[in-house]
């Protein structure tokens, strides 16, 4: 599929609108919240960095301080408006692969973002995640090759790097400081998607000792 074609760029812009993105998520991705909550139920955390936070749907997982990071100006604007009354939640428009957060987080989320990142982008991201987050949660597509509608959706997807669960796992395993805690997968009720969930713990995490500085807009490695 030619993702540089004019019609695809129009579709891409359409999905950059918060309400279109949210409507699609609700229709195609039902059950995700329940699966994620169940998977993270026994993970101890009080602060979250949400990498590729989109429209802020996973801010609901926050227990205390929450920072959402996304490249999309329209999504970050929608998040800031949505959570304007919540001082515990902040949003940064930045490329998460080149971020230099120096504030520690108990949990880093990467939900449906891995397939938007090239292998090199993922390696860069993993470096700072291993240093600045205690736990790292990753959820991404589990491609279903035999499903005709799912195949069309993958082809249209804005992410260019859809990987098998084995390839996702192998890529993350390149960062030796991230140790796998558990892995699971589930079918969305629509049957259009299967997702893989991974939880990692960083052996390099130093908690509050990691520094007093903060994630800042536009910060780069
Ligand atoms: C499929 S959406 C998922 C959004 C959100 N995590 C969710 O599950 O609702 C992928 C998001 O990743 C963001 N994204 C892609 N590449 C990124 C990068 N390098 N840095 C930060 N955000 C990125 C996109 O702008 C988009 O909001």
57 CB under 6 A from ligand 1? yes
Position 6 scores a pLDDT of 75
pTM: 0.86
pLDDT, tens digit (0-9, with 9 covering 90-100), for 11-50:
777 777 777 777 777 766 668 889 999 999 999 999 999 9
Find the 53 Cα to ligand 1 centroid distance in Å.
Answer: 6
pLDDT at 110 over 80: yes
Find the 108 Cα to ligand 1 centroid distance in Å.
Answer: 13
Residue ranges per structural domain of the chain = 6-207
Over residues 179-198, mean pLDDT? 89
pLDDT at 218 over 80: no
pLDDT, tens digit (0-9, with 9 covering 90-100), for 124-172:
999 999 999 999 999 998 877 777 777 777 777 767 898 999 999 999 9
Give me the half-sphere count of Cα atoms (radius 13 Å) on the Cβ side of residue 114. Answer: 28
Ligand 1 atom closest to Cα of residue 117: 16
16 CB under 6 A from ligand 1? no
Find the 54 Cα to ligand 1 centroid distance in Å.
Answer: 5
The CATH number assigned to the domain with range 6-207 reads 3.40.50.150
- Residue ranges of alpha helices (H) inside 83-164 are 119-132, 148-156
Q: Which residue has a Cα nearest atom 4 of ligand 1? A: 54
CA 19 to CA 160: how far, in whole Å?
23
Read off the pLDDT band of 207 (50, 70, 90).
Answer: low
75 CB under 6 A from ligand 1? yes
Smallest CA-to-CA distance from 122 within 69, 168, 188, 178 is with 168
Between 101 and 212, name the one with better pLDDT.
101
Averaged pLDDT score across all residues of the chain:
86
52 CB under 6 A from ligand 1? yes
Position 9 scores a pLDDT of 74
Q: Which residue has a Cα nearest atom 26 of ligand 1? A: 54
Position 220 scores a pLDDT of 38
Q: Which residue has a Cα nearest atom 1 of ligand 1? A: 112
For the residues of 71-88, what is the DSSP string, one character each? S-HHHHHHHHHHTTT-TT
95 CB under 6 A from ligand 1? yes
For residues 62-84, one letter each, b for 16 or more C-beta atoms within 10 angstroms of the residue's C-beta and e for the rest, the string is beebbbbbbebeebbebbeebbe
pLDDT at 213 over 60: no
């Amino acid at each position: 599929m030619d993702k540089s074609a004019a019609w695809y760029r129009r579709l891409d812009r359409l999905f950059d609108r918060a309400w279109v993105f949210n409507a699609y998520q609700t229709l195609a991705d039902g059950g995700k919240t329940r699966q994620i909550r169940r998977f993270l139920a026994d993970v101890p955390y009080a602060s979250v960095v949400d990498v590729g936070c989109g429209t802020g749907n996973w801010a609901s997982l926050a227990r205390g301080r929450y920072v959402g990071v996304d490249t999309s100006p329209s999504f970050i604007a929608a998040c800031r408006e949505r959570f304007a009354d919540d001082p515990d939640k902040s949003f940064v428009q930045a490329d998460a692969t080149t971020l230099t957060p120096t504030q520690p987080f108990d949990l880093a989320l990467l939900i449906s973002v891995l397939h938007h990142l090239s292998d090199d982008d993922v390696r860069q991201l993993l470096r700072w995640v291993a240093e600045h987050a205690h736990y790292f949660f990753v959820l991404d597509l589990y491609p279903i090759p035999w499903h005709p509608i799912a195949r069309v959706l993958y082809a249209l997807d804005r992410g260019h790097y859809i990987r098998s669960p084995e390839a996702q796992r192998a890529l993350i395993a390149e960062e030796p400081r991230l140790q796998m805690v558990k892995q699971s997968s589930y079918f969305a009720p629509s049957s259009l998607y299967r997702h893989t969930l991974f939880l990692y713990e960083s052996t390099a995490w130093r908690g509050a000792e990691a520094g007093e500085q903060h994630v800042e807009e536009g910060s780069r490695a």
